[in-house]
Structure 1
Amino acid sequence: MTTVRFADEVVLVTGALGGIGAAIVTAFAEAGTRVAIHHLGQAHEARERVEQLRASGTDAEAFEADITDWAQAERLAGDVYERFGAIDILVNNAGYLESGRITDMDFDQWYRTINVDLNGPFIVSRHVVPLMRRQGHGVVVNMSSQLAFKGAHDYAAYSAAKAGVVGLTRAMARELGPEIRVNAVAPGPINTPLVAPYATPAYIHERTTTLVDQRFGDPEEVASCVVFLASPGASYLHGQVLHPNGGGVMA
């Protein structure tokens, strides 16, 4: 339960139906925002989520788009703005994870990850930021990963993409601030459906043995960082990265 309160701001969360995305949506809804739920190919789940949010008093709507497609991302931004009359907060959360050793992966495997995890945040931001400038304010929170800072066997593409998100965040912060604040969150291992297929005992041990907490985190622990960065309490933060990772990376 968040203690941050917003004054009817509109948040667009990409990848809003996944583990972390769903927690982010819940946290913002509890904090008083209106919520634009982005998804791809999950119309039924999106409708159910919107109905749940509306039943709890949150103004919500679902929007489908491929964030790696320029025209679809442009339409997404325009549709959200038309529906709500504003986009105050953008959370670039949609992600893709696929394992592959650098000496074995082919270009298509490499590009799928780069396209979703790095191109996607740029493309969506490219179409949302002009709308924020029209308003004269806005907040962007990009989702990176601790692997951007430490790397990992079999995740070269993901590590590279998420490191790119950090660089993108800092460049955006310098170009767009102070009217538009841009920061990032770099989670450590989190209990989500995205990592569930890989979460063997060996995988879990490898990723938690060096952590101060020695456990996987919960999506809510990431969502609270995102909400904080979007809040007035983070008004002096530009180009920063928060690290909810149980002490795995201390940067």
Structure 2
Amino acid sequence: MLNLSNKKIIITGAASGIGKAIAAQSVDCGAIVIAVDIDSDGLERLEKEKGKNNIIPFVFDASKMEQVELFFSEIEGYTGYPDCLINNVGIYYGKSILDYTQEEIDRVLEVNIKSAVYFSKKFAQYKMRNKEHGCIINMSSVSGQESSSDAIYGLSKAALIGLTKSNAMNFSPYVRVNAIAPGIIDTPMMKTISSSRLAQYRERELISEPLTPEQVANTAIFLISDAAKHYTGAVFDINNGCYLR
């Protein structure tokens, strides 16, 4: 098990799914997790499961700049500045672009893209100003690398890959920036994927065992750790081989 002792990690969308799995494994490796979500009940359950000394919950909407600024002003005095940021929060409607409303388009782009922009900006500003080293992980998707039945979701995840590469350059040498691009994962979000689309993914997978949030978390833990200190600007595919590039 990799050692994350003394590391403080911000995780957006930490109340469920991949975010919760990363939070749990980070604590198991010795880290303190600053857990951000709008789901107060989910954060409370996470805190009970992993301990109040290990989870610091913040109920904020990560897609609103004014709330992100408030969040960073609070944590600076409350916990000391974090070592790592994981931009994980995301939403998925699982519908055709032809059926999207303007409000739904705006919400996906706000949550999936703008939240990562806002958090990355505030995190890197502090690190670069103080010449401190840190890391950012953006949670992208296989949908950002190949065609998606939900074009707006695919657009948002492709944007995170572009953000990753640009910020790796812009934030060097102090902040490493990488992305993880999972395939189909056994989370509540999978219920919104049509059975026909899910079958297409499954047919192309080279590994039969379903991908779980915990296995994605393994990759995140590696990227947080000092073992990954020479990785930046990279996209880590974890998709059972359904998309090879």
TM-score bracket for the superposition, by shorter chain length: over 0.9
**Deviation digits for residues 114-145 of structure 1 (CA, Å, limit 9, x no counterpart):** 11111110011112222223361110000000
Q: Secondary structure at the match of 2:145?
A: helix
2:230: which partner in 1? 236
1:147 to 143, 150, 155: 143
**Deviation digits for residues 48-79 of structure 1 (CA, Å, limit 9, x no counterpart):** 32132227xx5221001111111101111222
1:122 to 117, 130, 136: 117
Gaps of 5+ in 1: none
1:47: which partner in 2? 44
1:185 to 155, 180, 187: 180
How many Å apart are 1:237 and its aligned residue? 0.8
1:38 to 17, 36, 39: 36
Detail structure 1 runs of 4+ shifted over 4 Å in the superposition.
none
Q: 1:1-251 alignment to 2 at 5 Å? A: 3-40=1-38, 42-54=39-51, 58-133=53-128, 134=130, 136-153=132-149, 155-198=150-193, 200=195, 202-251=196-245
RMSD: 1.6
Gaps of 5+ in 2: none
Distance 2:30 2:49 in 1: 15
* Alpha-carbon distance change, 13 to 135 in structure 1, aligned in 2, over 3 angstroms: farther
Distance 1:103 1:196 in 2: 20
Query: Which amino acid in structure 2 is aligned with residue 151 of structure 1?
Result: S
Q: What TM-score comes out, normalization by structure 1 length?
A: 0.92
Distance 1:16 1:198 in 2: 22
* Aligned length in residues: 244
Q: Secondary structure at the match of 2:152?
A: helix
How many Å apart are 1:230 and its aligned residue? 1.2
Distance 2:147 2:192 in 1: 19
How many Å apart are 1:18 and its aligned residue? 1.5
